[in-house]
């Protein structure tokens, strides 16, 4: 691995680690601050304020603390099984008039919290489990934000050498291609490391609040694949652009995001007249060169489970991989031709 | 390891930075490359090291073209700082240790200590001279067979300049080759055995310093008035150039100085002197056009 590039990566990862550590510290402060609100006792105390409400506490054979709240006036029943750090299982039974009427069954998953709502005649039962597994999709989304920032900062490794250090870079006993691959390899490791660090930090934050279990199955494997390739393809795009423009690399990196957002916005222009149509079409063509265009977003389907919108996930992933390879090759091609 | 440069040309657009440059640099020697600003010295170095692609010509190291592995044997000090501003001196040492098999960190730190460079300092905190010192220390710690040094004393104080010259001479004594350029001709004269002088991309003079100095003399004649003729003396093959300033004529001769002096007397010169040249004189005569005003300082050798 190229030592100079690794030092750059190390310095950036150090900064990333400091920022993530600050976020974890803030989460610790938040956790301490809300600790008393997170106890079922607080909810129970609040709910039992209603006149006529009856609250009973029992301990089940396994050690689970069960709290039952009966409100005869509604009538509604809430049963809270507190498994301690392993989460809670809450069953709320209430008249249908107070609950959603649109569907017979309704599922919502937010992080580790799973909510299942079902109707049985005039009663609706809502089951809340707070110990569900967290889809990796969420983690990858957060990790990609950090990874894309890191990729943008690192994405001019060859241009940085061209800008005043070629005499060092090109007088080493290795070929130019190998040198470029070492440099890009160091950056790729750095980008992936930033993703892993982000996932670790947010996992730690989650652990502060509950027992966290990560879900790597099904859609999550695809989320990981997309999450890994997207920042690498983005990095390669900027790497190619900065290598060809060498001394203007700072401007390329600085304007990369504004230009990307601008082009994205221009593709949304309704083609009402010739000018708008032309702008739209140019922006559309340009956006095809951007790896961010091919990101597949996941969203809940009718069953409440997450799935990728749009088809051709494999095609989109292939395009991301292809962009990483092609843009990387373009950068190396230019690198082979540079002169001091 | 010897270096053979054959018909080297390097054009930037239509402008020739190096033009039909041919040179043989033997192994185990200190070789000085001289020339005025823009003569093509740095471009020649860059072509030698593959940093610039020659327009035409060949450069061979022991008869073989430059390969990546050849850089294990070549150390280069460019004329400007190429250090990474954000890296410490110690990290530069580590960078070289990882890149070059024969690099000696102990030797590098020893040299840095000699130059009074603090190893913990970042390059951006170093003065111009200190940066040069770091690059020189890295090069001399490489145990390379060839050291290409472009203005290796730039910004250094006189003590450290002298130290760099000593290092160069020591390396040559160990059997390694030093090729260096400098605007300080006194340094070249002190360290170099061979020199080549470039002007406008071309090789204009080459040889052993001692031979060049021994062969070249100035024969100066003063005539009674400005209307005199040299009777073909200026066309003598031993006369490399002639400069006339009113009643005075100066002939740069590459041999037979006494004979030329005698012919000048016969041509009517009322006073004739034969003068020795130092390397600076040789350089200035090589790169300045005939009859140009030169500040050549000449010393009388024998009358």
Q: What is the pLDDT of residue A200?
A: 95
Q: Cβ contact (<8 Å) for A170 and B49?
A: yes
Judging by DSSP bridges, how do beta strands B239-245 and B217-222 pair with one another? unpaired
Q: What is the pLDDT of residue A333?
A: 96
B23, containing H or E segment: strand B15-25
The Cα-based distances of B221 to B263, B264, B276 in angstroms read 10, 7, 15
Chain B residues within 8 A of A10 when measuring between CB atoms: none
B233 DSSP 8-state letter = G
Largest CA distance in chain B: 71
d(CA B115, CA B138): 12
How much is the mean pLDDT over chain B?
90
d(CA A302, CA A234): 32
pLDDT digits (tens, 9 = 90+) for B245-302: 889 998 989 888 999 999 999 989 999 999 988 888 888 888 876 654 444 444 444 4
Task: Give the list of residues 6+ apart from residue A336 with CB closer than 8 angstroms, or none.
Answer: A176, A177, A180
Q: What is the pLDDT of residue A311?
A: 56
Task: Give me the sign of the Cα torsion angle B293, B294, B300, B303.
Answer: negative
How many CA atoms within 13 Å lie on the side-chain side of A63?
4
Neighbours of B289 (CB within 10 A): 9
Is pLDDT of A141 > 80?
yes
Q: Cβ contact (<8 Å) for A339 and B46?
A: yes
Burial environment of residue A295 by CB neighbours within 10 A (0 to 12, 13 to 18, 19 or more): middle
Note which residues in 68-97 of chain B have CB less than 8 A from chain A: 68-72, 74, 76, 78, 82, 84, 86-87, 91, 94-95
Strand, helix or coil at A252? helix
A296 DSSP 8-state letter = P
Based on its alpha-carbon atoms, the radius of gyration of chain B, rounded to whole angstroms, reads: 22
Judging by DSSP bridges, how do beta strands B299-302 and B3-12 pair with one another? unpaired
Residues counted in chain B: 303
Q: List, in sequence order, every residue forming a beta bridge with B181; answer none if it has no partner.
A: B33, B150
How many CA atoms within 13 Å lie on the side-chain side of A206?
25
Is pLDDT of B244 > 50?
yes
Q: List, in sequence order, every residue forming a beta bridge with B248; answer none if it has no partner.
A: B222, B245
Is pLDDT of A101 > 80?
no
Nearest CA in chain A to B94: A3
Q: What is the pLDDT of residue A48?
A: 72
Weakest mean pLDDT among A5-9, A300-304, B275-279, B287-291: A300-304
B27 DSSP 8-state letter = S
* % of chain A residues with pLDDT over 90: 49
Q: Provide ipTM, 2 decimals.
A: 0.84
The predicted model gives A30-36 an average pLDDT of 83
Q: Cβ contact (<8 Å) for B82 and A167?
A: yes
Weakest mean pLDDT among A229-233, A324-328, B96-100, B224-228: B224-228
Query: Is the CB of residue B109 less than 8 Å away from at least one CB of chain A?
Result: no
User: Which of A1, A4, A5, A157 should we substitute to test contact with B (largest number of B Cβ atoms within 10 Å)?
Assistant: A4
Chain A residues within 8 A of B94 when measuring between CB atoms: 3
Weakest mean pLDDT among A4-8, A72-76, A144-148, B122-126: A72-76
Q: What is the pLDDT of residue B296?
A: 45
d(CA A69, CA A79): 6
Nearest CA in chain B to A168: B82
Alpha helices in B49-125 (DSSP H): 89-99, 105-114
The Cα-based distances of A104 to A79, A90, A117, A126, B141 in angstroms read 22, 19, 8, 12, 79
The predicted model gives B131-145 an average pLDDT of 96
Given A4, A170, A173, which is nearest B84 (Cβ)? A4
| Cis geometry, peptide bond prior to residue A75 (ω within 30 degrees of 0) | yes
Is pLDDT of A150 > 90?
yes
CB contacts < 8 A, A to B, total: 54
Based on its alpha-carbon atoms, the radius of gyration of chain A, rounded to whole angstroms, reads: 27
Q: What is the pLDDT of residue A100?
A: 53
Confidence of residue B303 (pLDDT cuts 50, 70, 90): very low
The predicted model gives A73-91 an average pLDDT of 83
Confidence of residue A103 (pLDDT cuts 50, 70, 90): low
Is pLDDT of B228 > 90?
no
Is pLDDT of A132 > 90?
no
Nearest CA in chain B to A163: B82
d(CA A201, CA A212): 13
Q: What is the pLDDT of residue A298?
A: 62
The Cα-based distances of B272 to B252, B265, B297 in angstroms read 13, 7, 17
Supply the DSSP string of A124-192, one letter for each residue: EEEEEES-PPEEHHHHHHHHHHHHHHHHHHH--HHHHHHTT-HHHHTTSSS-HHHHHHHHHHHHHHHHH
Q: Are A200 and A148 in contact (CB under 8 A)?
A: no
Is pLDDT of B114 > 80?
yes
Q: Cβ contact (<8 Å) for B51 and A170?
A: yes
Weakest mean pLDDT among A5-19, A120-134, A260-274, A281-295: A120-134
Q: What is the pLDDT of residue A304?
A: 57
Q: What is the pLDDT of residue B212?
A: 86
SS3 content of chain A, % helix, strand, coil (to 5): 60, 15, 25
Q: Are A117 and A102 in contact (CB under 8 A)?
A: no
Confidence of residue A46 (pLDDT cuts 50, 70, 90): confident
d(CA B170, CA B107): 14
Q: What is the pLDDT of residue B295?
A: 41
Query: Is the CB of residue B236 less than 8 Å away from at least one CB of chain A?
Result: no
The Cα-based distances of B168 to A189, B78, B131, B153 in angstroms read 42, 15, 18, 11
Residue A245 sits at φ, ψ, to 5 deg, of -100, 0
Task: Give the list of residues 6+ apart from residue A75 with CB closer than 8 angstroms, or none.
Answer: A95
Q: What is the pLDDT of residue A214?
A: 79
Q: What is the pLDDT of residue A300?
A: 60
Better-scored residue on pLDDT, A296 or A60: A60
pLDDT digits (tens, 9 = 90+) for B164-183: 999 999 999 999 999 999 88
Supply the DSSP string of A190-237, one letter for each residue: HHHHHHHHHHHHHHHHHHHHS---EE-STHHHHHHHHHHHHHHHHHHH
Q: What is the pLDDT of residue A57?
A: 87
Q: Are A208 and A28 in contact (CB under 8 A)?
A: yes
pTM of the predicted protein model: 0.84
Confidence of residue B156 (pLDDT cuts 50, 70, 90): very high
Nearest in space to B278 (alpha carbons), one of B221, B220, B212 = B212
Better-scored residue on pLDDT, A275 or B88: B88
d(CA B113, CA B109): 6
d(CA B246, CA B232): 18
Is pLDDT of B189 > 50?
yes
Strand, helix or coil at B105? helix
Better-scored residue on pLDDT, A201 or A312: A201
Largest CA distance in chain A: 86
Q: What is the pLDDT of residue A177?
A: 97
d(CA B33, CA B25): 11
pLDDT digits (tens, 9 = 90+) for A175-225: 999 999 999 999 999 999 999 999 999 999 988 887 777 777 777 888 889
Confidence of residue B242 (pLDDT cuts 50, 70, 90): confident
Q: What is the pLDDT of residue B294?
A: 42
Q: Are A95 and A123 in contact (CB under 8 A)?
A: yes
> Can you read off the two tokens belonging to residue B95?
């960078």
């Amino acid at each position: 691995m190229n030592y100079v590039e690794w030092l750059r990566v190390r310095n950036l990862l150090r900064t990333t680690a400091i920022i993530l550590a600050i976020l974890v510290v803030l989460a610790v402060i938040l956790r301490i601050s809300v600790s008393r609100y997170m106890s079922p006792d607080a909810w129970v105390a609040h709910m039992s304020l209603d006149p006529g409400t009856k609250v009973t506490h029992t301990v089940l054979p396994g050690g689970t603390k069960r709290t039952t709240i009966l409100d005869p006036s509604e009538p509604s029943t809430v049963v809270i099984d507190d498994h301690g750090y392993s989460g809670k299982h809450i069953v709320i039974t209430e008249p249908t008039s107070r609950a959603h009427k649109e569907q017979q069954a309704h599922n919502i998953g937010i992080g580790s919290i799973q909510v299942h709502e079902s109707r049985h005649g005039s009663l609706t039962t809502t089951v809340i489990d707070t110990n569900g597994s967290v889809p990796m999709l969420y983690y990858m989304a957060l990790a990609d934000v950090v990874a894309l920032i890191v990729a943008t900062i690192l994405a001019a490794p060859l241009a940085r050498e061209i800008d005043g250090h070629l005499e060092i870079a090109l007088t080493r006993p290795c070929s130019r291609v190998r040198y470029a691959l070492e440099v890009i390899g160091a950056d790729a490791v750095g980008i992936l490391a930033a993703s892993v660090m982000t996932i670790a930090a947010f996992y730690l934050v989650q652990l502060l609040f509950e027992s966290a279990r990560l879900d790597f199955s099904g859609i999550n494997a695809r989320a990981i694949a997309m999450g890994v390739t997207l920042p690498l393809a983005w990095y390669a795009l900027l790497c190619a652009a900065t290598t060809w423009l060498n001394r203007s690399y700072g401007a390329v990196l600085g304007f990369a995001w504004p230009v990307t957002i601008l082009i994205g916005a221009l593709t949304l222009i309704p083609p009402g007249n010739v000018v708008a149509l032309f702008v739209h079409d140019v922006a559309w063509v340009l956006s095809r060169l951007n790896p961010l265009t091919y990101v597949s977003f996941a969203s809940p389907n009718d069953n409440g489970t997450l799935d990728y919108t749009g088809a051709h996930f494999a095609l989109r992933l292939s395009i991301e991989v292809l962009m990483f390879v092609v843009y990387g090759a373009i950068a190396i091609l230019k690198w082979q031709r540079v002169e001091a | 390891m010897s270096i053979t440069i054959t018909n080297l040309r390097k054009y930037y657009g239509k402008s020739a930075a190096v033009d039909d440059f041919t040179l043989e640099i033997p192994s185990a020697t200190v070789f000085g490359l001289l020339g005025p600003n823009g003569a093509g010295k740095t471009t020649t170095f860059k072509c030698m090291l593959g940093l610039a692609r020659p327009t035409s010509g060949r450069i061979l190291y022991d008869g073989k073209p430059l390969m990546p592995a050849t850089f294990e044997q070549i150390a280069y000090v460019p004329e400007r700082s190429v250090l990474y501003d954000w890296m410490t001196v110690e990290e530069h040492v580590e960078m070289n240790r990882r890149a070059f098999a024969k690099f000696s960190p102990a030797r590098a730190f020893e040299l840095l200590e000699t130059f009074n460079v603090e190893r913990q300092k970042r390059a951006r905190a170093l003065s111009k001279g200190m940066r040069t010192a770091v690059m020189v220390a890295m090069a001399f710690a490489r145990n390379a067979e060839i050291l290409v040094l472009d203005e290796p004393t730039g910004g250094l104080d006189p003590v450290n300049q002298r130290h760099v010259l000593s290092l160069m001479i020591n390396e040559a004594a160990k059997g390694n080759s030093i090729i260096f350029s400098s605007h300080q001709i006194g340094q070249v004269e002190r360290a170099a055995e061979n020199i080549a002088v470039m002007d406008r991309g071309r090789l204009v003079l080459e040889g052993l310093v001692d031979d060049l100095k021994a062969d070249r003399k100035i024969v100066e004649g003063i005539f009674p008035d400005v209307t005199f003729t040299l009777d073909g003396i200026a066309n003598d093959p031993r006369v490399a150039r002639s400069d006339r300033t009113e009643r005075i004529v100066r002939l740069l001769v590459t041999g037979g100085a006494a004979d030329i002096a005698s012919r000048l007397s016969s041509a009517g010169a009322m006073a004739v002197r034969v003068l020795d040249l130092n390397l600076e004189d040789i350089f200035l005569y090589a790169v300045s056009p005939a009859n140009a005003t030169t500040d050549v300082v000449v010393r009388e050798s024998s009358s």
